[in-house]
Every structure is written in structure tokens, then in C-alpha cells.
Structure 1
């Protein structure tokens, strides 16, 4: 990733600032299983954690097609949406060029004319867009917006790069958890459709007064404890409750 430079400066991120930013970002996304929710949390955390940034957005593409957009302020969501501006935006430039894009002063910006005019109308005066690699299917860009010209410094560029790298890792983990949850759901549906497992779940629901997912989890826990398949546990339970009671 290339860094677009401005006037020479010595601004850097301190170790404590870096650690705090990464810790907050990790804590906010570590247990999330929904990609859209992860994007929403990401932009809110970034907006609140980076001094001098007024708004934050994220543009995501899945296999070249729109995959999601998030904005810390809903009024600016259109600036991150590639369906609105197509390739003519800082985010899409960052994604296509695979490098950080900086526009310090939108009043003097000649790139992305329609997008820049819309941004100025919304009060945006500067923007940094950094590409984010999530996985083989999803890529994107994190966008940092300033409400005053010439306030996005070298420090903000470094922060954007840091955010992009760490966000990519966290979002990849979210995507993996999302896939695992979908696979688990498919397994649940298949097991519920199994006659004897369904019967056993019905028995447990009646006995415990619990919903089907909880009953299925009871079966799974029993199978794990006994080191036997779920279906065998279900068969044993059904046979047990089917036996006539002795007087």
C-alpha cells in the first residue's frame, strides 16, 4: 500500500495510541457473526477513536459487486455507496488502485467531480480512503472524513493504513464465523428433519418446556458426554420413553 505524502512532518502514532485503537477495534468485533453489523461497529469505533476525523465510512465489494456500506452518520452513507457514484469516488479509487487515496482540500479537488460536489454539500472538506483486503471474495475501503480543509495529516494517513490492515483481519474472522454459523444452521435443519432426532427433540421440549434449538443442544451435549452420535442418543431416548411402564 502506497502512502500519499503531504508537506514533510514528523507526526507519528504513539505506542499507547496504537494499542488503544487496536484493542478497542478488536473488542468491538471479536464476537460479531454478522458482516453488516461488523461494518457498522467498525465505522463507529474508528470515528470515535481517531482525533480530527468527523465521520467514517466503509465501502465493501463482494466478487466485484456491492457487498455492503456503512457510515458513522447515515446522512453521509451515500458517499460510501458505489451504487450512487460508481467508480468515481475516493473509495473506489483506493480499491481499484490498491493504495491509500488522500484529498486534503475538496474545494480544490478535480478528481471525482460529482462525488466531491456532493461531499462538499454535506460539509466534508477532506477525505482519506484506504483499501481493505478481507478475503478472496470481499475487498473494500475504509474512509475517514474531515469537516475542515488541511486537517488530515500524515498521522491520519498512518492511522488509516493501520485501521485498514487490522480491520481486514477482523472482518475476515467475522466472515469465517458467519460461514460457520450458516453451516451449523444447515446441520440443525438436517438433524431436525431426521425422524428419530425430531422425535427426541419433541420429547425433550415436552419434558423441559424448552424451544427446539435448546432441545437439540441438549441432545448434542449428551452425545458429546457419551462419545456417541447425536442420532444414537435420540434413538435411545425415543426407545426409553416408548417402553410401556410397569405397574
Structure 2
């Protein structure tokens, strides 16, 4: 890291401020199932919460390949996108598995292709911290300052805690997305099953509800009766198929 410690700003990035940021991130991402939506919320919340941070970005890799970016200001999204350049603080952080940064890009020589573009867009300081998400996706959270020597040791500590917390939250988002996709596949298979499909049709007719809701009704009945879903479906189909006494 090449950042100076400046007490006034460092003081503003104390325990309470960091805790408030992590709490807001948790509230913002706890129910999100879409990974790109989660990244957008992450960079927006971070940018708004941290004094001295003008912009925030995220660089994601899946199986070692660029897998998307998010930027609090779309105008600067190219700074986080590895498709445009591999010479970036984000990739340095990911490769080294440690935080990197520069308080004054005017005196920085580590990213000769990236730095001139960053300065052209008004970026004067940067911190990039690696984010471990799961066995497929890794990334980096990138904090940008519009003035030199604004990012401090307090920002470094916050970035480190933020990266750890964001990794856990984003892993949960990906897990929920996988579970949701699996549920859709399972529902499609069940609806294509003969007797269960018939039972769903019966519930849809009786309640005037869509197939997904009808399947949930059958699942609820199976859970309350502690019997398999197929048996509930078979009982329902037998009941409605039984001839009525005149």
C-alpha cells in the first residue's frame, strides 16, 4: 500500500461508521437473489457510506475469466472491467490476494496503462481489496477518491472488513440463486409428472390460482400430513375421480 495516514479523516472511519456500513449492506443484500443486482447495491451503498470515497466499483471473475463489473458511476465502469485492461489495481489485488492502493495516482507507476485513464476520468486515489465469494467466483472491491491523499489507513481497515463481509453476503446471494434455479427445475419436473400434474390441475380449478401456487398447496398438505407429495396427489385425484352417488 502507498497511502498516508491522515488523522482527521481516519477518525471519521471508526468502528461505529464501519459497523453502520456493514449493517446497511446486510439489510440491502439479505433478500437479493440476483448477483448483478447485489453488486450494484454493494457499490452504491459503499460509495454513499464512506467519507472520502467518491466512487466505488467491483470487479468479478468466474473460473478465472472476467464475469462482470459494477460501478457506482457507470461512466467509470471501464476502470473495473478486465475486458478493457488487465493492468489494474483490482487484478493486482486478486492475484496477490492482498489489498493494494495508491493515495496519489500522479506519483504511481504500477499500472501504466490503467492510471492515465483513471486520472483522465478524475480519479486521484484508489484502494482495491480482494473478495473471496465461492469456489467459482472471486473479485475485488475498488474504492476511488477524486482528490489525492484522501484515502487513509482508516479506509484501508474499512476496505479489509468490507471485503470480508461482502464476500459472505455475495456467497449467500449466489447460493440463493442456485436454490431458486433448482426449485424451478424441480417444479417443472413435478408439474410434468402425471398424477401430480393432475392434482395441480384440480387445485388450480378449485382455487383459481396459478400452477406454482397450486403446487405449494399440495406441498403444504404433504407437510402437514407428514406424507409424500405423490401420495397427497394420488388421494386428491382419486377423490375427485370417484363417482358421485345420485
TM-score in terms of structure 2 length: 0.94
Provide the residue aligned with 2:240 in structure 1: 241
1:200/1:14 CA distance change after superposition, 3 Å = same
Provide, for residues 130-152 of structure 1, a one-character-per-residue CA deviation record: whole Å limited to 9, x for no partner.
00011111110000011111111
* Count of paired positions: 243
2-structure distance, mates of 1:94, 1:83:
17
8 Å CA contact 2:3, 2:149 repeated in 1: no
| CA RMSD between the two structures | 1.4
Q: Which residue of 2 aligns with 1:215?
A: 214
1:117 match:
116
Question: For the Cα contact (< 8 Å) 2:218–2:232, is it kept in 1?
Answer: yes
- CA shift, 1:161, in A, is 0.7
Quote the offset at 1:39 in angstroms.
0.8
Superposed displacement of residue 68, structure 1: 2.1
Measured in 2, the distance between the counterparts of 1:118 and 1:5 equals 19
SS in 2 for 1:99: coil
Match 1:6 to one of 3, 6, 11: 3
* CA deviation map 1:81-118 (0-9, x unaligned): 11111x21110110001111112122222222222122
Q: CA deviation at 1:219?
A: 0.7
Counterpart in 2 of 1:84? Answer: 84
Partner of 1:54: 54
Structure 2 runs not aligned, ≥5 long: none
* Aligned residue number for residue 151 of structure 2: 152
Runs of 5+ consecutive residues of structure 1 not aligned to the other structure: none
SS at match of 1:47: helix
TM-score, L = length of structure 1: 0.94
CA contact (8 A) 2:47 2:54 kept: yes
Match in the other structure for 2:180: 181
**Retained in 2: the 8 A contact 1:5–1:154?**
no
Residues 40-74 of structure 1, C-alpha deviations (whole Å, 9 max, x = no match):
11111101111111110101111101222111111
